[in-house]
Amino acid sequence: MADKFVIGVDFGTESGRTVLVKVGDGEEVASHVHRYADGVIDEALPGGKRLPPDWALQNPADYIETLKQGIPSVLRQARVSADDVIGLATDFTACTMLPIDAQGNPLCFSEEFRDEPHAWVKLWKHHAAQPEADRINEVARQRNEPFLQRYGGKISSEWFFPKALQIIDEAPHIYNAAHKLIEAADWIVLFLTGEEKRNSCTAGYKAIWGKRFGYPSPDYFAAVHPRMRNIVAEKMSEDIYPQGARAGGLTARAAELTGLREGTAVAVGNVDAHVSVPATTVVEPWRLVMIMGTSTCDMVCGTELHTVEGMCGVVEDGILPGLYGYEAGQSCVGDHFAWFVENAVPPAYAAEASARGLNLHQYLEEKAARLHPGESGLIALDWWNGNRSVLVDVDLTGMLLGATLATKPEEIYRALIEATAFGARMIVDAFEASGVRIDDIVTCGGLPNRNRLLMQIYADVLGRELKIAASEQAAALGSAMHGAVAAGSQAGGYDTIQQAAARMARLSETRYRPNPAAKAVYDRLYAEYRTLHDYFGRGANDVMKRLKALRSEVLASGS
Amino acid sequence: MADKFVIGVDFGTESGRTVLVKVGDGEEVASHVHRYADGVIDEALPGGKRLPPDWALQNPADYIETLKQGIPSVLRQARVSADDVIGLATDFTACTMLPIDAQGNPLCFSEEFRDEPHAWVKLWKHHAAQPEADRINEVARQRNEPFLQRYGGKISSEWFFPKALQIIDEAPHIYNAAHKLIEAADWIVLFLTGEEKRNSCTAGYKAIWGKRFGYPSPDYFAAVHPRMRNIVAEKMSEDIYPQGARAGGLTARAAELTGLREGTAVAVGNVDAHVSVPATTVVEPWRLVMIMGTSTCDMVCGTELHTVEGMCGVVEDGILPGLYGYEAGQSCVGDHFAWFVENAVPPAYAAEASARGLNLHQYLEEKAARLHPGESGLIALDWWNGNRSVLVDVDLTGMLLGATLATKPEEIYRALIEATAFGARMIVDAFEASGVRIDDIVTCGGLPNRNRLLMQIYADVLGRELKIAASEQAAALGSAMHGAVAAGSQAGGYDTIQQAAARMARLSETRYRPNPAAKAVYDRLYAEYRTLHDYFGRGANDVMKRLKALRSEVLASGS
């Protein structure tokens, strides 16, 4: 019998990646990356209309083009027939949401609304809904809404209801015109299958939904804004499915677009970070997955519901069916190092790196790797982009301490890496202190295979062995695995994600093990980090917030 | 009658500057800079012998060469006859000290001792006597020695007795062979006149001497080290003269070397910072002089003795005869910006600056000047080289807080400037809180004429008008003025430094006045600075010291 294949499509921030994967062993036989024509729309709409600050939109046409380019390409590259592709699944950034009409078309596709910013896709990093998030949180606190504690005490401005409320506030005619508001993760499935079957991951982590709790009540929503009372009934759906469920079969139109067969199984939508978990082999409770890229997402599943300080969320079925999925995160990891390399490394280093054929990250890593833990005398708070877990505070800012006239760039670079490792340890400690055991840590994402120094520092700071997923495109592989589950064993796939993971997911041979001497030094530095973390992060000295407020005041006055 | 002239020679760290000045109006008619052949000797003696870390020596032959090159050059340039030169004075870095033989020759000039590091001049920034300084401070604290409070509670490792004790500790044969240990400021006067007449400035600020107190007692010295009991009687002098006193006339040998007339009046030695004060027009109490260069010295005279937190010292006659001279300082000002420019500015900035024909300081200043106070959201503690006043703690280190992914290099540059301005305000506040009024502020040194942004920020932060001395070589001019006083009115000079200043010193037309809106913002930022200053500097969180100690531990273990 011929090999069977599945396809995973990972819709990222700047591009969409398609992989073709062998069902039997998870081999990634072909991949294709489509760079979005409109990318992140943060200055002006394609029609020219300017956007206010903090906006970040996308064009759904870029998603369709990803399917149209990517799927035929991987089939062609691997000379695989559509007949041998048994399933397809997708994953998206989230919360990335849009208004659609009754036919499922994005409002921004229509002539009537194309110049309306609120008709477009609000990307995860659209940050203009902060006033709405503040109101949503304030009302929830006043009413003592129990959902707050499942989300670290705070609903992020990046999530679904703040973005929806911003439409109500600023463009009520768009809200009225919208048949539905929908996560792009669910919309792409609707586009492929004609079925609106929403997934529990985005519903749970981004829209305050819980399998045993449902959505917040109409009374709560009405207290936030009268027009919002029936938002769930009017604009959303309570028809929600766990990850890996079959949403439907590919429509004739989608089959034509992609070159796949009509009726090919399509899974419900996924989120990029969460869908990576089974692709790292993790399908059991108490194993932490750290997805390390520009930011880090921390995912662990457990068998009970615990309240953990500063979680992004805990959602039943949110990562793996039948388990509580806990999500935490660090908002600035790779971004941190990128900022440093772009803004704070002198020409002499750039010249020397270039002469040696290294990029600046490689050059700095080489120099920083020669330093011993504690040798720089530096310590940093890794809050260049706020603190997601465990403080859940976007108004915190970065700090570097210990600089002298002898401080060199590689010492600062190393201190920034160490700071993110201390931040990771805060999260692991918070999990364990709350009853969520961490028995094992597996990493994936862009950083683990690119930065050996970073991985060794994390192992030393965490005092744990770190494993690495074999796949460097864990999200796309994870989607493909869900495609295999949606297809089911009768079609040549699998019936559970555990079965799929046993065959399709692998770990790299590389392991990072803690060096006891380095760990001893890092234990002392971590104690310093905690003291500074709590001093600046828990209210003893709110200087960071006051400086941010002063900055806003100065910019607003223009004087 | 022909114009009369005086000469000032300013012996700096890397070079010696000679100026020829008209007595009548202070016009600087010629100047000459001699770069020392051996410069700062911090790696190996001229004979090749390697030095340990933290050593910094000089070669007295470089001082002699400065006289031999500089004085004939200025006479020649200005076509001035030696007959019209009525006086000469010198100033030095301090404490910069050396052992000499009974003939007044430096021990390092002899064949016997030339390969002995301790036979050479220990430059002010020789930092290898820290263990000796620790012992000197510990014994003083144990014995509750009253002198401590005149020096901010701590004797610096840069000063005279720690350096002398290091010779006793490490090279007792050199200590025994030395006829005297002497400040270079006094040695150059001995060299010129044959007279050992020590000056009250170095005796007071660097050797714990007070006009009403004398030196510390033999019992105290004996408690520090038995060999040290009679250090004053055996190796020093109690024959101490106020600034501007005539030490003697030029010897025949010195006249031949310099081309001046034998018998030309020579003043007692001066220190570069202190001698700058009258050159800025300041010859009265309660006027602060800020000498701003790589570091900043703050000098103010008062009519009574007060105890001010964190002073470097208070010395009667130490700056101006008849007044108590208070010295404070910031250990990292220009050095701070130089560190930043060298280590933390990216290639794109260097390229753009170069294309526009600017140096990086100018380019950053231009960009930073476009920012409003408070706009960056940053605040820093200016402790890259420890804190001299008011905390007197070399183990404090630099801190930057408020960084985000949008932080730009010019924002950090401006935050570093602001931090040094806040440090200056801490000093002014400490003076005033202790009863030392500050009625006026005059600046001089390398920075005030080079960096308009820095001066405006200082005016805004201090909330005071800042004046600038007209002379850009205030130390050399101040020395020349003291030469005129040593000559006296009968020889065509002046009888007091006040009279000399009235005729020879001037202010620049440029004034910096505080902008009320900027001051209001800086008052808020200064409150934040004080909170952080006290938290990290006064024991609430000694993380900086623990990180430094850990660094030393790591480097010592080599692991």
Give Cα A20 to chain centroid, integer Å.
22
Which residues fall within 8 angstroms of residue B183, CB to CB, at 6 or more apart? B92, B94, B95, B96, B97, B160, B198, B199, B202, B206, B207, B269
Half-sphere exposure of B429 (CA within 13 A, CB side): 14
Nearest to B431 by CA among B295, B337, B261, B310: B310
State whether B551 and A376 contact (CB < 8 Å).
yes
Name the DSSP letter for residue A513: -
Chain A, residues 338-367, CB within 8 A of chain B, namely: 339, 342-347, 350-351
Q: Is A494:A89 a contact under the CB 8 Å cutoff?
A: no
> What's the Rg (C-alpha) of chain B?
23
Half-sphere exposure of A555 (CA within 13 A, CB side): 10
Which residues fall within 8 angstroms of residue A163, CB to CB, at 6 or more apart? A95, A97, A122, A126, A129, A132
Strands B198-199 and B240-241: parallel
Mean pLDDT of A213-221: 98
Rounded to two decimals, the ipTM of the complex is 0.92
Residue type, A477: L
Mean pLDDT of B327-333: 94
A with B: how many residue pairs have Cβ under 8 Å apart? 170
Residue A13: is its pLDDT beyond 70? Answer: yes
Q: How far is residue A215's CA from residue A234's CA, in Å, rounded to a whole number? A: 13
Reported as a single tens digit per residue, the pLDDT across A64-114 is 999 999 999 999 999 999 999 999 999 999 999 999 999 999 999 999 999
Residue B559: is its pLDDT beyond 60? Answer: no
Q: Is the dihedral of CA B476, B477, B482, B486 positive or negative?
A: positive
pLDDT of residue B6: 98
A530 touching B (Cβ < 8 Å)? no
Residue B558: is its pLDDT beyond 80? Answer: no
Residue B545: is its pLDDT beyond 70? Answer: yes
pLDDT band at B1 (very low <50, low <70, confident <90, very high): low
pLDDT band at B392 (very low <50, low <70, confident <90, very high): confident
| Alpha helical stretches, state H, A126-281 | 130-142, 160-170, 172-177, 184-193, 200-206, 218-224, 231-235, 252-258, 272-279
Q: Which of A401, A413, A546 to mutate to test the interface with B (most CBs of B within 10 A)?
A: A401
The values of phi and psi at residue A92, to 5°, are -135, 160
Tokens of B228: 């040290």
pLDDT of residue B66: 98
How many C-beta neighbours within 10 Å does residue B509 have? 8
Element (H, E) at B283: none
Nearest to B339 by CA among A371, A403, A350, A401: A403
- Average pLDDT over all residues of chain A: 96
Tokens of A545: 């917030």
Q: Is A447:A334 a contact under the CB 8 Å cutoff?
A: yes
Mean pLDDT of A507-536: 98
Residue B477: is its pLDDT beyond 80? Answer: yes
Element (H, E) at B349: helix B347-355
Give Cα B9 to chain centroid, integer Å.
15
Nearest CA in chain A to B394: A404
Q: Is B449:B509 a contact under the CB 8 Å cutoff?
A: no
Chain B residues whose beta carbon lies within 8 Å of the beta carbon of residue A551: 374-377
State whether A344 and B409 contact (CB < 8 Å).
yes
Reported as a single tens digit per residue, the pLDDT across B31-55 is 999 999 999 999 999 999 999 988 9
Tokens of B28: 């600087």
- Average pLDDT over all residues of chain B: 96
Element (H, E) at A437: none
Chain B, residues 388-447, CB within 8 A of chain A, namely: 397-405, 407-409, 412
- To the nearest whole angstrom, how far is the Cα of B274 from the nearest Cα of chain A? 26
B292 - beta bridge partners? B296
Reduce the DSSP state of residue B328 to 3 states and report it: strand
Task: Extract the runs of DSSP E, i.e. beta strands, from A352-506.
Answer: 379-381, 398-403, 440-444, 466-469
Q: How far is residue B430's CA from residue B309's CA, in Å, rounded to a whole number? A: 6
Nearest to B121 by CA among B185, B198, B214, B199: B185
| Percent of all residues in chain B with a pLDDT value above 90, rounded to a whole number | 95
Residue type, A285: P
| Alpha helical stretches, state H, A259-408 | 272-279, 334-343, 347-355, 360-369
Q: How far is residue B273's CA from residue B188's CA, in Å, rounded to a whole number? A: 17
Residue A559: is its pLDDT beyond 90? Answer: no
Q: Is B74:B66 a contact under the CB 8 Å cutoff?
A: no
pLDDT band at A1 (very low <50, low <70, confident <90, very high): low
Name the DSSP letter for residue B383: -
Q: Is B297:B329 a contact under the CB 8 Å cutoff?
A: yes
Q: How far is CA A503 from CA A496, B56, B361, B373, B431, in A?
A: 11, 67, 60, 60, 75
Q: How far is residue B10's CA from residue B249's CA, in Å, rounded to a whole number? A: 19
| Percent of all residues in chain B with a pLDDT value above 70, rounded to a whole number | 99
pLDDT of residue A394: 85
Number of residues in chain A: 559
Torsion of Cα atoms, A394 then A200 then A9 then A57, to 10°: -40
Nearest CA in chain A to B555: A375
- To the nearest whole angstrom, how far is the Cα of A512 from the nearest Cα of chain B? 19
Chain A, residues 532-551, CB within 8 A of chain B, namely: 532, 535-536, 541, 543-544, 546-548, 550-551
Reduce the DSSP state of residue A483 to 3 states and report it: helix
Which residue do the tokens 């990307």 mark?
Answer: A123
Q: How far is residue B276's CA from residue B448's CA, in Å, rounded to a whole number? A: 14
Strands A313-316 and B313-316: unpaired
Reported as a single tens digit per residue, the pLDDT across A40-60 is 999 999 999 999 988 999 999
Nearest to A482 by CA among A272, A322, A202, A192: A272
Q: How far is residue B155's CA from residue B205's CA, in Å, rounded to a whole number? A: 10
Q: How far is residue B427's CA from residue B389's CA, in Å, rounded to a whole number? A: 7
Element (H, E) at B242: none
Residue type, A435: G
The values of phi and psi at residue B293, to 5°, are -145, -130
Mean pLDDT of B448-476: 96
pLDDT of residue A152: 86
Chain B residues whose beta carbon lies within 8 Å of the beta carbon of residue A378: 547
Mean pLDDT of B367-378: 97
Q: Which of B554, B555, B557 to mutate to test the interface with A (most CBs of A within 10 A)?
A: B554
Tokens of B5: 């002239």
Which residue do the tokens 């930011």 mark?
Answer: A295
What is B470-525 written as a DSSP string? S-S-HHHHHHHHHHHHHH-GGGTS-SSHHHHHHHH--EEEEEE---HHHHHHHHHH
Q: Which of B550, B553, B555 to mutate to test the interface with A (most CBs of A within 10 A)?
A: B550
pLDDT of residue A310: 86
Reported as a single tens digit per residue, the pLDDT across B162-183 is 999 999 999 999 999 999 999 9
Nearest to A398 among B375, B403, B550 (CB): B403
Q: How far is residue B384's CA from residue B387's CA, in Å, rounded to a whole number? A: 8
Torsion of Cα atoms, B391 then B392 then B393 then B396, to 10°: 50
Name the DSSP letter for residue B39: -
Mean pLDDT of B488-516: 97
Residue B265: is its pLDDT beyond 70? Answer: yes
